[in-house]
Amino acid sequence: MKQFDQSADLYDPLDPSAADPGLLKKHSSQKSYTAAGFVYPSIRTFYHPHPQADKLPTKPTPLPLLVFVHGLGGSAAQFAPLLTGLVNAAPCLAIDLPGCGLSDFLPEKREAYKSEALASLIAEAITQHRDAGNGQKVVLIGHSMGCSFSTLLASSTSPLSHLISEHIAGFIAICPRAETLSASQVSRLQHMRYMPIPLFEVFRWWDRRGGAESASVSRYAGKEADSETKRLQLRFNEQSKSEVFMAMALGSMPKYTDNKAIGGLPGEDIWSGLRVPTFCIGGEQDHVTPPENVELIAKWLGRQVPRDQTKPKLDALPSSAGEIPVIDNTPIEENGKSFVPESTTTKSGQDLVSETRQDSATPDVPKKPKFVLKTTVLPKPASHALLYATSTVRILSGLIQSFVANHIDHRLSLGWQLQHLSTEGKWDVKNLQKWQAIKPVSEPIAGIFRAQKTLREIDEEHTPAVYVKRWGARNGVKQGVRMVVDISHESPVYDPKGLEEGGIEYHKFPTVSKLPPTVEEVAAFIALIDTLREQLTKPEEPEGALIAVHCHYGFNRTGFFLVSYMVERLGWRLQDALEEFAEKRAPGIRHEHFVNELFVRYMLRAHESRKILSGLRRQFPSPLTETTFSHAHKTLPPSTTPFTTAKMPGVSVRDVPADKFIQNYASFLKRQGRIAVPGWVDTVKTGTAKELPPQNVDWFYVRAAAVARHIYMRKNVGIGRLRKVHGSPKNRGSRPSRHVDASGSVDRKVCQSLEKIGVLELDEEKGGRRITQSGQRDLDRIAMSTLEAEQEEDDE
C-alpha cells in the first residue's frame, strides 16, 4: 500500500497532490480494488476512524460508516470542508474515482467507467473498510452524479441491490440528478466518442476564459459566489481531466430499447425503491442540477412537495440544527415548531431545565432505521458548489449532522458523544488546571456583556469575595458587573450570597452542557436579559454596568447565548457577532457543532425574514421617507433588517443614501436601548430658528444617527461645525432670512451619549470628536444591512 508523499518542492494549485487538504493527505493511501470484473490499481482512499472509537459503545453495532461519493469531474477534496466536522462524529470513507483527484486513470477500457461499474467500485471500497463482523451500517453522502451512484447502491429496485443495500442505514443526496439521460441527450453525447481530446480541451479552455469570473466557474459556483468559492471552483475545474470527464459522461448513458432506458444513471424506477432515511438538499441557484430534481424525487417517493415548501420556513426551523419540515402525509404546519415558547414565566430561568434533552445514557439503536424523507433547498447564493462554498458549507454540515443523529443513529450526535466521553469530574486535577489557565473575565462584549468562567469558592483569585472588589459595578469599577447569569446545569461551586452582598445580583439559568441551546432556551434567555437591561436603566443603577454570563469555562454555551442575543435582539450579522465574541473571549466558541447550529438557525432564518420584511416594506412604506427627519409626525419604524447575515465585502456608510442610513441607524439605536435620552427632549427647541420642539418623538435618535454619520464621513468634527450643519434659516418677517446655527447644547448632549456607548471619542491631538473603531464597525454593519435590504427590493 503506497502512502502519499506529503512534501512538495513547489506548490502548484492545479496539482491535486500539492493542493490536497491536510486532513485528506494525512489519512489517505493508494489502494487497488477489483470490481465489476475490472482491476482499478491505484485508487486514492481516504479513511478516518472515529478518534474516540474505543470509548464509544459498539453494541448492538458500531457507529455507522459515513461514505462520501463525489460526482462527475469532482474529487474527494471537495468534501474537505464537510469532513472537518464530520470526522469527529463518525468514521469516514471517501475515494477518488479512477482518473479523478489523485487516482490513476486505469484501467483504460471504457466499460470500466460505466455508472454500474463505478458504483460497484464504491461498494467494494465500502466492503473493505466496513466492520462487517460487528454489523456496521453505512450512510451514503453523495454530491451530483455521486447521488446517482449512491442510489444504485441503496435502492431495493437497483440491479446492484445485492451488493450492500442491506447494510445502508441512510442516504444524503446533495444536488442530486433525478432522471436518467433522455434519448436526445444520449444522441448528443454519442458525438463525444469521435471528438479528439485536444479539441475538447480547446472548448474547455474557451469556457474558462476570465479565470474565476469565467462562464465555467459561474455555471457551477454561481455569479453571486464569493471570491474564495470561485477560486476553489476554478481549481476543481482545472484539475478535472478531459479524458476522464468524457469517459464518465459516456459511461452514464443508458441504452434505449422500445423507448425504455436500460442502465446508465438511475431514474424513477430506481429512486422510488429507496427505503432508508433520505435527505435531499438542493441549491436555489444550482443551474447544473436545478432544485426541481428534489421535488421530482419526493414525488416519486410518494410525497407531494410544492415548490415553496421545499425551502425552509421561518417557523419550521426548530432547535436542532437542520430539523426541517418532514415531508410526509401530515400537514406541514403540524411538523414545525414555533421559535418562541408559548409562555416564559420565570425571571431567572430557575425552572427552565429541559426534560427532553438527551443524557449520556446509550440511546436505543434500531436494527433498521425508519424510512423518512426530508428535503430542503438552500436559498441563494447556494449553487452546485454548496458543498464547499463558504456561504453554505456550515449550514450544510449542521443539516447533515442533525439528520443523521435524529433519523439514523442517535449516537452520531456530537453533543451526545461529548456527554458520554465526559467521564472525569469537572474539578479533577486535569480539569482544575485547565480552569485555572483560562482568563477569568472577558472584555466587554457588544457593550452589554462580559463572558467569564465560573467562580470557585475556595480559589484565591476568582472567588466571590475578590470578584466583587475587582469587577463589581457598585464598587466604582468602570464597565463593571452588576448581574451574573449562571447558565451551568449544576449547583454553583461558590456561594452566590458573596456576590449579592457585594452588590452583584445572581441569576440561575440552568442549561445542559455539550448540547447547543434550544430555540426555546434562547428565547427565555433573551427575555431574561431584556429584563435585566431594563433594570439597569434605572437612575440608581451604576452607569455603564454590564451583565456577566458563565457556564463552566465561558466559551461554548456562553458564546452561543451571547451571539444569539446579538443577532436576535441587537441586529448584528451572525459573522460579526461570532467575531466580536472571539475577539473579546478568545478563541471564541470552541465546539464546531455549536457554530454550525448557529449558521443553520440564523442564516436560513435570515433569508425568510428578509423576504417577509421586503413584502411589508412594499405594503407599508416607511414614514420617514415621506417627511423631514426633524419634524416627522410618526415614530421610527422597527429596523427592517434585524436578521441580515450575508456578507458584502467593502460596503461602508459612503455606499448608502444618507436618508436610508440615518433611518435604519436611528431604529437600531432605539432598539438597542443603550443610548441615554435626556428628559427634556419633549420640550426643548433645537435652535433659535425653531418656533416649536420637534414633533417626532424619536428625534433624538435621528439626530444621534445623523451626527454619527457626519463624523464618520469627515473624521474630526467639533460642536461648532455640527451647529452649522444642523442650523436652519430664521424667518425674520419682511427682512431676508438668514442662517442661524442650531443649539450647541443639543449637539453636545448627542455627542456625549454616543461617547458613552463607544461610538465616538474625543481626539486629544486635533480636537473635536472622531469615530471609534467599534463605532465604525457598527455603522458599516448598518450600511451593509441597508444596502442588502435595498437590493432585495430591487430583485423582487
pLDDT at 644: 35
Q: What does the pLDDT look like over 151-191, one tens digit per residue? A: 999 999 999 999 999 999 999 999 999 999 999 999 988 88
Cα–Cα nearest to 743, from 625, 624, 630: 630
Question: In terms of domains, do 399 and 484 share one?
Answer: no
Question: In terms of domains, do 584 and 632 share one?
Answer: no
Q: How confident is the model at residue 793 (pLDDT cuts 50, 70, 90)?
A: low
Per DSSP, 108 falls in state -
pLDDT at 791: 63
Question: In terms of domains, do 282 and 431 share one?
Answer: no
Taking the mean position of all CA atoms in its chain, how far away is CA 792? 20
Largest CA distance in the chain: 104
DSSP run (H or E) holding 278 = strand 278-283
Rounded to 5 degrees, φ, ψ at 198 are -60, -35
pLDDT at 649: 41
| In-domain check, residue 354 | no
Q: What is the CATH number of the domain that holds 687?
A: 1.10.10.10
Cα–Cα distance for residue pair 781/496, rounded to 1 Å: 38
Question: In terms of domains, do 176 and 44 share one?
Answer: yes
Residues contacting residue 35 through CB under 8 Å, at least 6 positions apart: 117, 120, 121, 123, 124
Cα–Cα distance for residue pair 317/743, rounded to 1 Å: 50
User: Is there a contact between 384 and 378 (Cβ–Cβ < 8 Å)?
Assistant: no
Range of the domain at 517: 424-589
Question: In terms of domains, do 412 and 433 share one?
Answer: no
Rounded to 5 degrees, φ, ψ at 771 are -75, 140
Cα–Cα distance for residue pair 763/535, rounded to 1 Å: 33
| In-domain check, residue 525 | yes
Highest-confidence segment of 5-19, 488-502, 648-662: 488-502
195-209 mean pLDDT: 93
417-446 mean pLDDT: 79
Question: In terms of domains, do 107 and 144 share one?
Answer: yes
Cα–Cα distance for residue pair 394/600, rounded to 1 Å: 7
Q: What is the CATH number of the domain that holds 511?
A: 3.90.190.10
Cα–Cα nearest to 246, from 113, 71, 112: 113
DSSP strand pairing (65-69 vs 138-143): parallel
pLDDT at 423: 59
Place of cell 470526522: 87
Question: In terms of domains, do 37 and 137 share one?
Answer: yes
pLDDT at 344: 30
Question: In terms of domains, do 630 and 753 share one?
Answer: yes
Q: How many helices (H) and strands (E) does the chain have?
A: 26, 19
Residue 351 has pLDDT above 90, yes or no: no
Residue 128 has pLDDT above 60, yes or no: yes
> Is 48 or 649 the better-scoring residue by pLDDT?
48
Answering whether pTM is above 0.75, one says no
pLDDT at 522: 92
Q: What does the pLDDT look like over 448-471, one tens digit per residue? A: 999 999 999 888 899 999 999 999
Residue 606 has pLDDT above 80, yes or no: no
Cα–Cα distance for residue pair 105/575, rounded to 1 Å: 42
| In-domain check, residue 333 | no
> Is 626 or 696 the better-scoring residue by pLDDT?
696
Cell numbers for 365, please give them: 439503536
Q: How many CB atoms lie within 10 A of CB 627?
A: 13
Residue 385 has pLDDT above 60, yes or no: yes
Q: How confident is the model at residue 350 (pLDDT cuts 50, 70, 90)?
A: very low
Q: How confident is the model at residue 70 (pLDDT cuts 50, 70, 90)?
A: very high
pLDDT at 490: 78
Cα–Cα distance for residue pair 638/338, rounded to 1 Å: 22
> Is 221 or 318 the better-scoring residue by pLDDT?
221
Percent of the residues in the chain that have a pLDDT greater than 90, as a whole number: 51
436-456 mean pLDDT: 94
Residue at which a domain ends, from 400, 418, 436:
418
Cell numbers for 430, please give them: 486535569
Mean pLDDT is lowest, of 50-59, 97-106, 118-127, 543-552, for: 50-59
pLDDT at 144: 97
Peptide bond into 587 cis (omega under 30): yes
Cα–Cα nearest to 624, from 726, 699, 727, 713: 699
Q: How many CB atoms lie within 10 A of CB 681?
A: 18
Cα–Cα nearest to 62, from 169, 149, 161: 169
Place of cell 479528439: 196
Question: In terms of domains, do 388 and 450 share one?
Answer: no
pLDDT at 12: 56
Residue at which a domain ends, from 549, 568, 589:
589
| In-domain check, residue 340 | no
Question: In terms of domains, do 698 and 723 share one?
Answer: yes
Residue 219 has pLDDT above 60, yes or no: yes
What is the total count of domains within the chain? 3
| In-domain check, residue 362 | no
Percent of the residues in the chain that have a pLDDT greater than 70, as a whole number: 83
DSSP string, 751-780: HHHHHHTTSEEE-TTT-SEEE-HHHHHHHH
Helix residue spans in 475-518 (DSSP H)? 496-501
Residue 32 has pLDDT above 60, yes or no: yes
Q: What does the pLDDT look like over 75-106, one tens digit per residue? A: 999 999 999 889 989 999 999 999 999 999 99
Residue 796 has pLDDT above 50, yes or no: no
Q: How many CB atoms lie within 10 A of CB 762?
A: 12
Taking the mean position of all CA atoms in its chain, how far away is CA 795? 23
Cα–Cα distance for residue pair 355/349, rounded to 1 Å: 14
Residue 328 has pLDDT above 50, yes or no: no
Sheet bearing 373-378, strands edge to edge: 2-3, 28-35, 38-48, 92-95, 65-69, 138-143, 168-174, 278-283, 373-378
Q: How many CB atoms lie within 10 A of CB 30?
A: 17
Mean pLDDT is lowest, of 39-48, 94-103, 510-519, for: 510-519
Q: What does the pLDDT look like over 471-509, one tens digit per residue? A: 999 999 999 999 999 998 877 888 888 999 899 999 988
Q: How confident is the model at residue 333 (pLDDT cuts 50, 70, 90)?
A: very low
Q: How confident is the model at residue 117 (pLDDT cuts 50, 70, 90)?
A: very high
DSSP run (H or E) holding 437 = helix 429-437
Can you state the angle between helices 197-207 and 242-251, rounded to 10 degrees? 100
Question: In terms of domains, do 542 and 663 share one?
Answer: no
Q: What is the CATH number of the domain that holds 186?
A: 3.40.50.1820
| In-domain check, residue 408 | yes
Question: In terms of domains, do 568 and 643 share one?
Answer: no
Residue at which a domain ends, from 362, 384, 418:
418
Please list, residue by residue across 72-92, b when 16 or more beta carbons sit within 10 angstroms of its beta carbon and e when fewer do.
bbbbbbbbbbbbebbbbbbbb
| In-domain check, residue 44 | yes
| In-domain check, residue 602 | no
User: Is there a contact between 493 and 427 (Cβ–Cβ < 8 Å)?
Assistant: yes
Residue 615 has pLDDT above 60, yes or no: no
Residue 774 has pLDDT above 60, yes or no: yes
> Is 767 or 638 the better-scoring residue by pLDDT?
767
Residue 386 has pLDDT above 90, yes or no: yes
User: Is there a contact between 696 and 629 (Cβ–Cβ < 8 Å)?
Assistant: yes
Q: How confident is the model at residue 604 (pLDDT cuts 50, 70, 90)?
A: low
User: Is there a contact between 505 and 483 (Cβ–Cβ < 8 Å)?
Assistant: yes
Per DSSP, 737 falls in state P
pLDDT at 345: 30
